[in-house]
Amino acid sequence: MYSPDANNTTGSVAVVGAGVVGLCTALEAQRNGYQVTLIDRDAPGLGASFGNAGYLATELIDPLSTGKTLLSALSMWLNPHGPLALPLSYIHRILPWLLRFVFAAYPKVADHGRRTIHQLNQASVPAWRRCLKDIEADGQLIQSGYLLVWESADKLEDARQHARYLREWGITTRLIRGEELAEMEPELAGRVSHALYFPEAYQVRDPYQLCMQLFSAFQARGGQFVQQSVNALLPIENAVRLQTPSTALRFDQAIVCAGAWSKQLLQSTGLEVPLEAERGYHLTIKAQHIKLNRPIGSAERRFVMSPLDSGIRVVGMTELGGLKLKPIKRRFDSLRYHCRKLITSLNDPSLEISEWMGHRPTLPDSLPVIDRHPDYPQLLFAFGNQHLGLTQAAISAEMVVNLMAGEPSANDLEPSANDRKQSAIDRGPFRVDRF
């Protein structure tokens, strides 16, 4: 629990990045007695954290690169409404990353990633409970359950196979059909054949609202926020200097939680990390008369709809397009197409629909970097959680702050090493200097 004793400090810490991972990390550092300054070029919670589905996807244990993914990649890319996009103008830039991505599908590498993601996901909900209880925001976390639906009746065996696979990992599901499915989600009646129900799944009420509660608690505990870009990290003896456009800020330690922008900051310290900015799209639909009772994922269309306080959030699309390209309109059109096929009442032209695109930080092996600099121990990292940033934010924060404080972690840090240069089989995934 947080102690308000101002004399109980272990030094100054800068947390670079005010998304959900950075906010959780800043609060966790405060709980451990550090004086914390949060730094971001934008207001808190406006990056990828703003646009997610608000759903803790603990059942997503497969890395993005697997043999199955590679076999279906071409058909997904060629499908005009498919979930995978790769702008032609960006292919030459991303080729080295794509080669690493293909190699990450090697069975031993993918199996290693699967075990690590599962470990993080299993720890994620308890970590969120600890974080939210501490700031008296327990109401943000809801055990909503989750439905993964299939429209085609001939895909029934696919659902059964998936349920068997998840059971091997201790993930509870139940196959539902017919009247029971229609009662659980009346809006889906007549549109889907069957579904897997995940009774232990959680969501948050609204991801941006959650970020604001985290930020408010951080400020109430004496945390400082600096809205500035960080152009470079300059480790000096027993400290770190952060270069902004207007000044240099000095701290005893710094933690980089800058998501897709972390790669540029690490380059200023001599580290190269194969981090790619994966662009995600969403729609938020104001439709009070259309009621969803829980998050719903489409196994065939590969997108998710969630009921949030701000409206129905429709999230999908994996677009490997970097940080600079503008949003592509037809991606939003594809989301409209899919959600209207699944819920016909969304065809109402009077509905108010907002559009958003943001950048997910993704590494070829789908594992985050939770580590310290190999040459400058006062500089640490927590980024790269790909599609699971919200899910893993609280546990990532606990892990990186434990590392900074020299405390043991209940979760193995070796897989998150920034230096997983080889295949992450014998080197591990959470660290930095082996890439």
Distances (CA, A) of 382 to 51, 75, 98, 413: 20, 34, 23, 11
Task: Report yes or no on 418 lying in a domain.
Answer: no
What is the total count of domains within the chain? 1
Q: Return mean pLDDT, the chain.
A: 92
pLDDT score of 150 = 98
207 sits in which H/E element: helix 207-220
- The answer to the question of residue 6 being in a domain is no
Helix axes 20-31, 207-220, angle to 10 degrees: 30
Does residue 180 belong to any structural domain of this protein? no
Q: What is the pTM of this model?
A: 0.93
User: pLDDT higher for 82 or 175?
Assistant: 175
Handedness of CA 186, 188, 191, 192 (dihedral sign): negative
Which pLDDT does position 4 carry in this prediction? 52
CA distances from 415 to 145, 171, 365, 423, 424 (A): 29, 22, 11, 11, 7
Range of the domain at 130: 12-145+201-405
Beta-ladder partners of 313: 284, 306
What is the CATH number for 394?
3.50.50.60
- 365 domain-assigned: yes
For 203, half-sphere exposure in the C-beta direction (CA atoms, 13 angstrom radius) is 25
Query: Domain for residue 415, yes or no?
Result: no
pLDDT in tens, 290-344: 999 999 999 999 999 999 999 999 999 889 999 999 999 999 999 999 999 999 9
Q: What is the pLDDT of residues 111-150, one digit of tens each?
A: 999 999 999 999 999 999 999 999 999 999 999 999 999 9
**Range with the lowest mean pLDDT among 252-256, 267-271, 344-348, 431-435?**
431-435
Residue 190 lies in a domain: no
Nearest to 232 by CA among 258, 194, 195, 197: 258
> Is residue 97 over pLDDT 90?
yes
48: pLDDT strictly greater than 80 = yes
Q: Which residue has the tokens 């194969």?
A: 274
For residue 407, CA distances in Å to 12, 26, 376, 401, 412 come to: 18, 17, 18, 8, 13
CA separation (Å) from 434 to 36, 105, 260, 357, 420?
A: 29, 18, 19, 32, 4
For residue 433, the model assigns a pLDDT of 46
At residue 155, the 3 state secondary structure works out as helix
Note the pLDDT of residue 9. 66
- 107 within domain boundaries: yes
Cα(303)–Cα(232) distance, integer angstroms: 37
The answer to whether the beta carbons of residues 12 and 33 sit under 8 Å apart is no
Which pLDDT tens digit goes with each residue over 350-394? 999 999 999 999 999 999 999 999 999 999 999 999 999 999 999
Q: What is the per-residue pLDDT for 401?
A: 98
Residue 248 lies in a domain: yes
